Amino acid sequence: MTQSDGKPIKQRLPGRIVWTVVAFGSLAAVGLSHWLNHIPPDDSERTDFINRYKGGSLVIAGGGTLPPEIRQCFIDLAGGADRTRLVIIPAFDATQAQQDSLCDYWRSLGVQSVQILHTNSRDQANQASFSDPLDQATAVWLSGGIQAWLSAQYAGTLVEDRLRAVIDRGGVIGGSSAGAAAMTKVMIQQGQEEAVEGTGFDLLSGAVIDQHFLRRSRINRLLGLMESHPNLTAFGIDEGTALVVQVPKGRIGVIGASYVLAYIPKMDSRDSRFEMLKHGDQIDMAGLKNGARVSSPVDFNNLISD
């Protein structure tokens, strides 16, 4: 089209089209800039940690609200969400609704193969058919609840034998709070200032676990128990924190938000001592016992409750 003077008429694009073009152009520029400048996150530290601790592991959490990295570490040690075959053992007499809720939670994290192992009968716990799911498990999670309940139903039964077999074939067993306390044969069953002793699973030999440690000021009860068991290595694990143990090689590491207090018993000419372990600290059990330090000495008096 031309004007009366013969010059072409400049056609205007509708405003909506103009803004659409501008918007897409801006998004394309932003996308290109992001693509050019984006540096993939460095996941090497996490990958190295998993490679170091897989092959028969324990993830022992101190209770409270666990940061996502602890449960993700557990899943990774089991082979990843798509390969994990998880068995959950509740530390209480769980209703069907509670069992379903436990399964739904782990499925929400991407784990597709989830089963519950639950009974309040030691006779049933000793039946091979009951604990058959443990033979196929790559991971077992011991829930929070009541450690004495776990002990009463399963300690010394075929279930305990098959839990150890999970570790022996390279799987991972995790637990929080009550599930953490029940991982050692000498088990703190209850008590604030004075520990009431029970019998848990012998998954971490020569050790004892205490949980909610700093949050609930439980150092005095751990010291009292050590008087009765001076040869044990003790780990007081605080809330939001986990001690990760590669059992066959005795490697230990800490992940999470707070601390693990390790009590190392007297050996030969070395006096008993304490080590405070934090996120990222790693050592092996033999080195810990033989005097290797992974942190500054603990100001022990500051940790004792009033």
C-alpha 147: how far from its chain's center?
17
Instruction: Tell me how far apart the alpha carbons of residues 260 and 99 are, in angstroms, rounded to a whole number.
Output: 30
Q: Is 23 within a domain?
A: no
Question: How high is the mean pLDDT of the chain?
Answer: 85
Does a structural domain hold residue 45? no
State the total domains in the chain. Answer: 1
Model pLDDT, residue 5: 52
For residue 39, being part of any structural domain is answered with no
Q: Among 9-23, 110-124, 205-219, which stretch is predicted with the lowest mean pLDDT?
A: 9-23
Quick check: is 224 in a domain? Answer: yes
Is the confidence at residue 145, as pLDDT, over 70? Answer: yes
Q: CA-to-CA distance for 102 and 98, rounded, in angstroms? A: 6
Please check whether residue 27 lies inside any domain of the structure.
Answer: no
User: Phi/psi of residue 273, each to 5°?
Assistant: -155, 175
Residue 40 pLDDT > 70, yes or no? no
Instruction: Give me the CATH number covering residue 221.
Output: 3.40.50.880
- Kindly state whether residue 5 falls inside one of the protein's structural domains: no
Asked if residue 178 has pLDDT above 90, the reply is: yes
- The answer to whether residue 229 scores a pLDDT higher than 90 is yes
User: Which amino acid is located at 15 in the chain?
Assistant: G
What is the average per-residue pLDDT within 143-148? 96
Whether 101 is covered by a domain: the verdict is yes
pLDDT at 196 over 50: yes
- Decide if 15 is inside a domain: no
Read off the pLDDT of residues 17-27 as tens digits, 9 standing for 90 and up: 434 333 334 43
Query: Bridge-partner residues for 262, per DSSP?
Result: 235, 275
Distance of CA 283 to the CA centre of its chain: 18
Domain residue limits at 175: 51-302
Find the mean pLDDT for residues 51-76.
96
Please tell me whether the overall predicted TM-score, pTM, comes out greater than 0.85 for this model.
Answer: no
